[in-house]
Amino acid sequence: MGITIAIDGYSSCGKSTLAKALAAKLNYAYIDSGAMYRCVTLHCIQRGIIKDGIFLTEEVVKTLPAIHLSFQFNLKTKFNESFLNNKNVEKDIRSLEVAASASSISTIREVRIQMVKLQRKMGENKSVVMDGRDIGTAVFPNAELKLFMTADTDIRIQRRLNELKLRGDKISFAEVKKNLLDRDYQDTHRKESPLIRSADAIVLDNSEMDTEEQLRFALQLANERIKNIKEEKINQ
């Protein structure tokens, strides 16, 4: 049986890149928990519940039963794509507008309860790498390996800017900076499961690391944990 790997950290510090690569190496499932909060946000934008970034919590809660989230593996990209009410929204949920409101939507207790339930269900068979803000603290507090990722703020802004430019978005460094700092503040200061480092999480500051180095680092830790657990089982 495989292990559960929880990767938490700030926005745009490469969590999903690492989580995806790690899952592929270990032949584990990769689950992007942020995509779920983004889907709820997109649904609320589409239904006019969020207007110019403003919403009423009770309207968001009321619409939750109308949201059906699912993921489908794309053989070409080798990545799980997000479906909102059976429509592929993988590209739509990555916009800056969705990102900006997802942070506020994710502060709503009822939204979190529903998402955490889904995340636990998706990870119940282990052999999973899940990334987010509260995976090691709230979703899988018993995960065998927890990583807490961080990177220098300017480096994170530049990475996000490059990503958005690749998508064709016309956006400035200053706009991305505001969005990122607002999200950092909101994610770390909210009442419900704020982003904090779990005491047993290993910090990975990737400011000066390329993706290969990060993968080596994480893979070594994962293989050690897997080996230890196997040995513990044999000795039982």
Residues that bind ligand DC (CB under 6 A): 11, 33-34, 37-38, 99, 102-103, 106, 132-135, 183, 187
Distance of CA 30 to the CA centre of its chain: 10
Comparing CB distances to ligand DC, the nearer of 63 and 226 is 63
Q: How far is the CB of 137 from ligand DC (least distance, A)?
A: 9
Amino acid type, 154: D
Q: How far is the CB of 4 from ligand DC (least distance, A)?
A: 14
H or E element that contains 76: none
Contacts of 14 (CB under 8 A, 6+ apart): 149, 151, 159, 206, 211, 214
Q: Which of 97, 95, 105, 111 is nearest to 163 (CA)?
A: 95
Q: How far is the CB of 165 from ligand DC (least distance, A)?
A: 17
Comparing CB distances to ligand DC, the nearer of 19 and 26 is 19
Angle, to 10 degrees, between the axis of helix 173-189 and the axis of helix 153-166? Answer: 120
Comparing CB distances to ligand DC, the nearer of 181 and 229 is 181
Q: How far is the CB of 122 from ligand DC (least distance, A)?
A: 12
Comparing CB distances to ligand DC, the nearer of 6 and 215 is 6
Q: Which two tokens stand for residue 182?
A: 């607002």
